[in-house]
Amino acid sequence: MPDGIPPYVLVARIGSILGMSFALAIGLLMLIGGWFVWSAVAFAAFVPSFGLMAYVERRAAAARRSAPR
């Protein structure tokens, strides 16, 4: 892990990527199965995972900028 990146960023990245990949995989399987409404719900579950990753990255970047050197 590079210096200056807090460990919670790594945990959030791993959790977000797992959440995004799981949501997309389930959504695709349901889409293939013909369950269009449930696939849309699964695809919508992608958004909170991506939002969490974006939020944590921005918070870590802001903390790095405001930290004394």
- pLDDT tens track for 50-62: 999 999 999 988 8
Instruction: Give the pLDDT of residue 66.
Output: 81
Instruction: Give the pLDDT of residue 14.
Output: 94
Instruction: Give the pLDDT of residue 2.
Output: 58
Domain ranges of the chain: 7-63
Q: How far apart are CA 60 and CA 69, in angstroms?
A: 15
At 39, the pLDDT band (50, 70, 90 cuts) reads very high
Q: How far apart are CA 31 and CA 33, in angstroms?
A: 5
Long-range Cβ contacts of 55-59 (<8 Å, 24+ apart): 56/8, 56/9, 56/12, 56/13, 56/16, 57/9
Q: How far apart are CA 25 and CA 4, in angstroms?
A: 33
Query: To 10 degrees, what angle do helices 36-44 and 46-66 make?
Result: 10
